[in-house]
Structure 1
Amino acid sequence: MRGYWIAIFFCLTLFNGYSQIVKSIEIIGNSTTKKKIILRELSFSIGDTISSTDTLNHIKKSENNLFNTALFNFTKVTFKDSLNNWNVCVELQERWYIWPEVIVKFQERNFAEWWKNKNLSRVDFGLHLNKLNFLGLNQTVQLNSYLGFTESFGFQYKVPYFNEKLKDGFKIAADYSTQNEVFVDIDKDEMVYIKNDSTPIQSSLKLQLEYTRRTGFYQTQFFNLRFIRLEGWDILNPFSNSYFGNNSSSLRFINFSYRYKYDRRFSQNYPLNGYFFDVQIDQFGFGNLDQSNIFVSRLLSSYRKYWKINHKYFFAAGAFLNHYFNKNTPFYLQSGLGFSNYVRGFEPYIIYGKTSGLLKSNFKTKLLKTKPFTVPLIKKIKKFSKIYFAVYWNCFLDAGYVHLPNPSTNELANQLLLGGGSGIDWVTYYDVVIRTEYSINQFGNTNFNISFVSPL
């Protein structure tokens, strides 16, 4: 009888695993990053009791949390059983943190629109000087400038944590720009510009202070305060009332926004599993309080879900909402479908309105298995020599709707918009994503586009 109970106990132990205390955490490869920044992303701490059946879950969470900091190209967490304790080893390959980036920015909203005319004079060339992981604390210092149709100069300093609890952070930023061309209206669902080839016709000054609070691993709140000043030249006078919301060809206001984000995506730059939710409230101007004489309120929200069907097939879907609570909004503050959020197949068009909604879906097939490899010619440069590369074929279907009380000549508002197509996504390290897509809409119009962000 005694042997019977011993056998049962042994089987239960095998089924439930055994529990041990985390005795030590060894970190390898963090020549720049401070240890506390790394420990912040681990789902366990020294002294925690962890079951052997839970180690795989902790490994996946911790490796993904570390990768999503954008500080490392590769992350590996290992639990080692040692004298009834866990000794954990965290192996990292840090990225290169000093980046002089040359930016090519099209005046059109996307590459496909610019390609129709291939006008190099409508290209802005910029330079960003980035110091990432400043002081080894995941801080960012950025200086940027653009030359071309838009000339701008600015800086940004971002501190993710400024206290010992590693929850609270801030960002300060400033930007001054001048434009030779200004997007002032929409006619027949296309952008209307006012431009002067020789001199700027608008200047803008933007000052920003942001406070962030990150709770746990997945929840972040953003409290954002901005001051924005626009000054228009005489050429903008005919559009002053609609564009600025007054007859003075200028606009000054305070913008306050609150955003809540819950992010449980695995690999944020190109997610294949997990989900994301955010909601944001914007207040543009406070009437007489900030002497702007505008009071515009807006709600933004999105939800995205990613399914890993198996090692080869993936599916994703997302919903986006943009709603204004005011009847009259200066054109400068209006938005809808056509920039970062759009129905694929309608890339050439802009649809603004009081309320806009968008549904996107993607089915992906992995064509090239993700596998790290070392480039022989630069194998001594460890931050670049070990790379990974993956290729996905995707099919997509989108639907969108914009409610516009007075559509005038804009025929795409107040009707359901449908678009679909197929394309190839190229994904590699340093968060590089290149998308090539061919799309068609419900009216039979086709479009080819190149983009550099994940489709969802």
Structure 2
Amino acid sequence: MLLRASLFILLLLIGAVALAGPCAVPAVVVAEVELSGNETTKPQVMLRELTFAPGDTIPADELEPLLEENQKRLFNLRLFHYVNYTYTCEEGQVRVNYEVQERFYLYPIPIFDFADRNFNAWLEKRDWSRIDYGINLIRKNFRGRNEEVRVRVQRGFNKRLELGYRIPYIWRKYNLGADFAVSDYRSRTISYTNYNNRQRFFEQEEGVPIKRTAVSAALIHRQDVQRQEGLRLAYYSEAVSDSVTFLNPEYYKEARGERQYLRVELYKVVNRRNNFAYPTAGTYLEAGVSQTLFLQQTGSPFTTARAKYVQYVPLSDRLFYMAGAEGQLRLAGRHAFADNVALGYRSYVRGYELYVIGGQHYGLFKQGLTRQLLDIKSINLTFIDNPKFNHIPLSVYLNGFTDAGYVVDDAFEDGNPLTNRLLLGGGLGLHVVTFYDIVLRLEYTLNREGDKGFYFSARFPF
């Protein structure tokens, strides 16, 4: 019995070696790439993202890193909850299978938002009339081709109607895609000037003090999910009430109460982050230049150049460092107040959320040290049958950070002491990353002016 058992085990080992032996060759050939789980997504959408194809010869020691890198590329399409891969080797031939779990692609997102720049700016007023409501309907992966259709109907304090359509490929030979959008915006109030780096609002009893309509079209050269550049052309028509031009004659400068303009923008994005929702490794580069030309002599033309670079460095399995910088240059003969936008909106020094620092040029630096506290790949909700909803990931991070910024304003600096001054802020935050790339941040900050407090945000800090 012992001899038979020994012979049986020996035969198994010989068989295993025989199966594994062909993989020990210096190079392997990709015989086949299979996809599974993509019930909606067209195979060509996934295959175009891969950096290898059947027939390619790959050094054996580079096979695993290559498959892992392409796993990340597929995941960063943001079409799947997860992407797994398996492969088999036989006589130097490799067969690869990528298995995915598709997301739910129709997003009927209810709008219940604050009409101010951020939650803390609204909290300072605590005015419940300054609420926006409606629905934001997004159909991702339309037709299974990674196209996107956007419809936003918003009522309340700020009224918006937005329609958009993005198609990744209109000319596959040259990797050209397109994006089209039209929008209409009307608000019951307008920030007509800044004083002490705080917005001053005018609210009109009848009608609306500001209207803005925009139409845009973009041609996008998409090398892959990580690299793209584009050319965008947009038309804007804006009008403000007579009361606004009376309160601030510099609001539109020459245009007084109405202006129309064209904007041509050229931009490039290189996104080599390991995760687009909450990156912990890799780099991000974004640069662009735009020219704004006013029609019917309703303004002075200006050129804007922007750039942003961030690096994410993993120090260990759960400890990460991030550092990045962002800047803007705006060149014009004469500046209108409406275009004098720098820090305080999408970009800001943390700790200065309640302030608006207008200007023509700015520089912004951010760094942070992040410690992962919790990483649950999937919380199974057994009472939900749909696999697109019954698995919820949950990650929690502790983040310490410091920010610095500087704004140059040669046109509207009077009465705004934070312009032309170094801004410094720092603090400690708790970041939660969960379902469908949702990022929630609660941060305690202290700035150079001595202001301190808790601030809430719902997007990645940089």
Same fold by TM-score, threshold 0.5 exceeded? yes
SS at match of 2:74: helix
Match of 1:390 among 395, 414, 417: 395
| Paired residues for 1:8-407 under 5 Å | 18-165=26-173, 167-239=175-247, 241-285=249-293, 287=294, 291-378=297-384, 380-406=385-411, 407=413
Post-superposition offset of 1:148: 1.2
SS at match of 1:242: coil
Q: State whether residues 404 and 413 of structure 1, in contact with CA within 8 Å, keep that contact through their aligned partners in structure 2.
A: yes
Deviates more, 1:150-159 or 1:239-248: 239-248
Amino acid at match of 2:101: Q
Amino acid at match of 1:395: G
Q: Which residue of 2 aligns with 1:419?
A: 425
Q: Deviations over 1:243-276 (max 9, x none)?
A: 1122530010001111011110111111110001
Q: State whether residues 26 and 90 of structure 1, in contact with CA within 8 Å, keep that contact through their aligned partners in structure 2.
A: yes
How far apart, CA to CA, are the structure 1 residues paired with 2:311 and 2:441?
A: 20
How far apart, CA to CA, are the structure 2 residues paired with 1:222 and 1:302?
A: 16
Deviates more, 1:105-114 or 1:355-364: 105-114
How far apart, CA to CA, are the structure 2 residues paired with 1:455 and 1:178?
A: 29
Amino acid at match of 2:316: N
Question: 1:410 aligned to 2:419?
Answer: no
Amino acid at match of 1:397: T
TM-score, normalised on structure 1?
A: 0.93
- Structure 2: where are the runs of 5+ without partners? 1-20
Distance 1:361 1:166, change over 3 A: same
Post-superposition offset of 1:369: 2.3
Q: Which residue of 2 aligns with 1:5?
A: none
Amino acid at match of 1:305: Q
Q: State whether residues 77 and 225 of structure 2, in contact with CA within 8 Å, keep that contact through their aligned partners in structure 1.
A: no
Q: Give identity over the alignment, percent.
A: 28
**What RMSD over aligned residues (CA atoms) do the two structures have, in Å?**
1.9
Distance 1:82 1:163, change over 3 A: farther
Q: State whether residues 25 and 92 of structure 2, in contact with CA within 8 Å, keep that contact through their aligned partners in structure 1.
A: no
Q: State whether residues 253 and 291 of structure 1, in contact with CA within 8 Å, keep that contact through their aligned partners in structure 2.
A: no
SS at match of 2:170: coil
Q: Deviations over 1:348-390 (max 9, x none)?
A: 1111112100000111000002422422111x21111122110
Match of 1:432 among 410, 427, 438: 438
How far apart, CA to CA, are the structure 1 residues paired with 2:41 and 2:323?
A: 35
Post-superposition offset of 1:166: 6.8
Distance 1:268 1:197, change over 3 A: farther
Q: State whether residues 395 and 434 of structure 2, in contact with CA within 8 Å, keep that contact through their aligned partners in structure 1.
A: yes
Q: Which residue of 1 aligns with 2:16?
A: none
Amino acid at match of 1:398: D
Amino acid at match of 1:390: S
Amino acid at match of 1:306: Y
Deviates more, 1:188-197 or 1:264-273: 188-197
Give the paired residue count.
441
How far apart, CA to CA, are the structure 2 residues paired with 1:373 and 1:231?
A: 50
SS at match of 1:236: helix
Q: Which residue of 2 aligns with 1:10?
A: none
How far apart, CA to CA, are the structure 1 residues paired with 2:43 and 2:174?
A: 12
Deviates more, 1:199-208 or 1:240-249: 240-249
Amino acid at match of 2:339: L
Q: Which residue of 2 aligns with 1:6?
A: none
Post-superposition offset of 1:174: 0.5
